[in-house]
Amino acid sequence: MATSKVTTATFDAEVLKSSTPVLVDFWAEWCGPCRAVGPILEEISNEYGSKLKIVKLNTDEESAIAIKYGITSIPSMYVFVNGEVVTQIVGAKPKPALLKDLESYLV
Amino acid sequence: MSDVRNVVIVGSGPAGYTAAIYAARAQLDPIIYEGSVTAGGALMNTTEVENFPGFTDGVMGPDLMDSMRKQAKRFGAELITDDIVEMDLTGEIKVLKDGSGNTVKAKSVILATGSAYREIGLVNEKRLSGHGVSWCATCDGFFFRGQTIAVVGGGDSAVEEATFLTRFAEKVVLIHRRDSLRASKIMADRAKNNPKIEFMWNTEVIDVLGADKVEALKLRNTVDGSESERAFTGLFVAIGHIPRSELITGQIDLDSEGYVICEGRSTRTNQKGVFACGDLVDHTYRQAITAAGSGCAAALDAEKFLAH
């Protein structure tokens, strides 16, 4: 499953009310490390999308949500379960390191 | 992959890509591991590069790296966007393992792994990383619109970051533990003439305060030892770099700071067939152009080694 885009309008339904865990990738076009980690998240989504939904939130376009969750560095990858932030990953990481951080959601 | 390559280049950035361009043009069929999230190197997190020769009006760091990458590709370098996670450089045939578990063998290796951001080393710096503590002004400056933030450091990167951050912040305080900047004069003057930048000389950051985000810094005067607190919502750390030599420790001779030691003016390391270039060897100049120059030298040294 490819990643999808979330906006302020869809955040509630897509993230907070999701029945599966959701990783929200807070990113922006101008951020080099965000562009570097983007394809890795795409791969993880293709491989594990049924267990962990991965969505992308553009902090440039949807700054209200980024501010609400106190984002000050991007990429920030927050995992939401039942509407709550349960894991926070800050900064681009290689795929094996990300898989390790996320392993409890991928089994 | 059971065949033995002529040359494997580890790390991208100006050194790695230049080595790839030269090695590819020498028909050594190089393979370059660019790094899964570090491809392009330190310049990917910069904005305008004004001092790379040949670009009259300057060039954006990421654009410069993209051009070097394409140039390497044009001559047939094989580009792999993955990390090298293990290296055995001691034998005649070098064995390297990538992040996907593949093994590659080579007669020669060019190390161009660059450097990583140096941390101040405070517990709360790590804890609040991503919650007001940042190492990338171009990534995170946007989130500090209208706020008062601190940049710690006194070199080119600190001054460049402070100047860049004035686009967003209300005020940027540059905290430096000495009484003058190490940065180049043109950049220092630009910062000194910027009304949004304030300098705190002879000051070091000894703690980052805040429950779940940065609220203030605890500071110490390096002359009289007096301590104080000052409110900030962000801290950008730009106190230099440490060479990324952890994978080769024990195989390649390093100096006390972890930089690779090369033989004389060459790029040859103590292991036959292993060459090093860029920020991994250079604690003096550390420029895009010097890195590119040493990458060129490494490819030429490798070519000469392979011919014998």
Contact A74 B140 (CB under 8 A): yes
A34 catalytic per annotation: yes
Size of chain A in residues: 107
The pLDDT value given to residue B48: 86
Enumerate chain A positions whose Cβ falls within 8 A of a Cβ in B.
Answer: 28, 30-34, 36-37, 39-40, 59-60, 66, 70-74, 76, 88, 90-96
CA distance B184 to B241: 17
Mean per-residue pLDDT of chain B: 96
The count of other CB atoms within 10 Å of the CB of residue B247 is: 18
- Mean pLDDT confidence for B279-299: 95
The count of other CB atoms within 10 Å of the CB of residue B203 is: 25
**pTM score of the predicted model:** 0.89
Position B14: which residue type? P
Burial of B215 (0-12, 13-18, 19+ CB in 10 A): middle
Give catalytic residue positions of B: 136, 139-140
Among A28, A76, A92, the residue with its CB nearest the CB of B37 is A92
User: Is residue B47's pLDDT more than 90?
Assistant: no
Most B CBs within 10 A among A26, A73, A74, hence the mutation to make, goes to: A73
Tokens at residue A30, please? 């101008």
User: What does DSSP assign to residue B296?
Assistant: H
DSSP letters for B113-129:
--EEEPP---HHHHHTB
Interface predicted TM-score (ipTM) of this complex, two decimals: 0.85
Share of chain B above pLDDT 70, in %: 99
pLDDT confidence bin for B1, thresholds 50/70/90? very low
Q: Given the DSSP bridges, would you call strands B103-111 and B94-98 parallel, antiparallel or unpaired?
A: antiparallel
Q: What are residue B109's phi and psi, to 5 degrees?
A: -135, 135
The pLDDT value given to residue A30: 86
What are the chain B neighbours of A39 within 8 Å (beta carbons)?
A: 81
- Mean pLDDT confidence for A34-43: 95
Contact A72 B132 (CB under 8 A): yes
What are the chain A neighbours of B137 within 8 Å (beta carbons)?
A: none
pLDDT confidence bin for B7, thresholds 50/70/90? very high
Q: How far is A32 from chain B (nearest CA, A)?
A: 6
CA distance B260 to A80: 43
Neighbour-count burial for B95-106, b at 16+ CB within 10 Å, e otherwise: bbebbeeeebbb
The pLDDT value given to residue B46: 84
Q: What is the pLDDT of residues B209-246, one digit of tens each?
A: 999 999 999 999 999 999 999 999 999 999 989 999 99
User: Is residue A18's pLDDT more than 80?
Assistant: yes
CA distance B13 to B65: 7
Sign of the torsion angle spanned by Cα atoms A58, A90, B166, B65: negative
CA distance B226 to B111: 44
Position A100: which residue type? K
Tokens at residue B135, please? 């190492």
Q: What is the pLDDT of residues B56-98, one digit of tens each?
A: 999 999 999 999 999 999 999 999 999 999 999 999 999 999 9
Size of interface A-B (CB pairs under 8 A): 76
